[in-house]
Amino acid sequence: MFSTLTLFGSLACVSLAVTLWQVCVGFRFPLGRRTAGRPYLPPITILKPLKGCDSETEGCLRSWLTQDYAGSLQIIFGVASSDDPVCGLVRRLMAQHPERSAQLLVCSERIGANAKVSQLVQLDRLAEHDVVCVSDADVWVAPDFLTHAVRPLGDSRVGVVSCLYRMTNHEGWAMRWEAFSVNADFWSQVLQSLSLKPMHFALGAVMITTHVRLRSLGGFNALSDQLADDYELGNRLARAGARIVLSPEVVECRSARLCFKEVWRHQLRWARTIRVCQPVPVFFSIVGNASLWPLVWLATAHNGSVALMALGCLLVRLLGGALLEHRFTGHLRASRWGMAMVKDLFQVFLWTLSFSGKQVTWSGARYRLEEGGKLIPLVELEAK
């Protein structure tokens, strides 16, 4: 007779298989591998929508201004208001690098609910080149990043090039939790998805595409009310027949320390965003929670052998998370091995809330998230 213990044991074994699968695809992916051959060096326009700044912003923006790229580069920084404190920083950086074609644009129009896309629409009007690179404000890149990342666009079948990203701030346990979520699990889950079918989405830290492709979708305007503009851009191009390529290049997301409340808001927005984009995979993702089911199995175990098997599943999860984080970041921190279990248990709450609510907080404003990922503004949050 099929018992509850058997059910929990089966789920624990499935989650164990998912963990091993993620480890395999993580170690097979050619992280940072450079391909030989003649470089493809088209003129590129870089669009950088900005809002506010912290201790890491200067280094991130400087990394784009100092790109060692043999082709022509144009960089356009955008802000919603001339009062934004990042304006002074951008002007100072541009003055320090007069050799670079760069400008700052105040994007005073509000086009749609997505403030980032609203800026992109206005920045793109000044773009001089067909190839366009969109990058978030907190992204740091290596000096030769563009030289290697743009290479796949030399194939006319490629619609977008995206990059995996790692988080570098580990201050405080909330930031360590979020960093582990990205540096161990998220990137390997992306690769897990790609082992089943071709990539049909883009990752928003860096997206490189062309105006020819953008115009086929109606430009950035077509994404102005979408929360997951990166997912939509890649998904719409994939449905139109273009290839979406994941570059071996990895960028870094650098930000100042955030408190638990800020990290939680970010994680909840992310969970609800992914749920809207891929509701069926997200619904079944709970099956792969590699700490939840072994713990439940352990709690219901009536003999030592079952308990040992449950503990073995947990040990594989902890070790697998550590190996994936080491593979992605180059660091192996034994003191953080337990973060896999912390992350998985928090993920149960995030998974539940992703299906039980529609509100998200983003850049100081609240929105209601409609089916299809459309954003409806609600109220502005009180100033912190």
CATH number assigned to the domain comprising residue 206: 3.90.550.10
70 inside domain? yes
Task: Report d(CA 374, CA 316) in Å as an integer.
Answer: 39
270 inside domain? no
25 inside domain? no
CA distances from 362 to 13, 241, 329 (A): 37, 32, 27
Task: Report d(CA 87, CA 92) in Å as an integer.
Answer: 9
Count of domains for the chain: 1
The pLDDT value recorded for residue 381 is 42
219 inside domain? yes
Cα distance between the two ends of the chain: 57
Of 86, 99, 83, 82, give the one whose Cα is nearest residue 48. Answer: 86
Per-residue pLDDT reduced to its tens digit, 30-76: 998 887 778 899 999 999 999 999 999 999 999 999 999 999 999 99
Containing structural domain, residue 181: 44-258
CA triple 155-160-164, angle to 5 deg: 115
Per-residue pLDDT reduced to its tens digit, 353-383: 999 988 888 877 888 888 778 888 886 444 3
Task: Report d(CA 152, CA 243) in Å as an integer.
Answer: 10
Q: What is the mean predicted confidence (pLDDT) over 178-200?
A: 95
Per-residue pLDDT reduced to its tens digit, 157-169: 999 999 999 999 8
The pLDDT value recorded for residue 251 is 97
Where would I find the beta strands (DSSP E) of the chain? 44-49, 73-79, 101-106, 131-135, 139-140, 158-167, 206-210, 243-253, 359-362, 365-369, 375-380
333 inside domain? no
Per-residue pLDDT reduced to its tens digit, 228-271: 999 999 999 999 999 999 999 999 999 988 899 999 999 999 99
The more confidently predicted of residues 180 and 170 is 180
Quote the DSSP letter at residue 267.
H
The more confidently predicted of residues 11 and 170 is 11
128 inside domain? yes
The pLDDT value recorded for residue 276 is 87
Per-residue pLDDT reduced to its tens digit, 289-317: 999 999 999 998 888 899 999 999 999 99
Does pTM surpass 0.75? yes
93 inside domain? yes
pLDDT at 384 over 50: no
pLDDT at 212 over 90: yes
Quote the DSSP letter at residue 67.
-
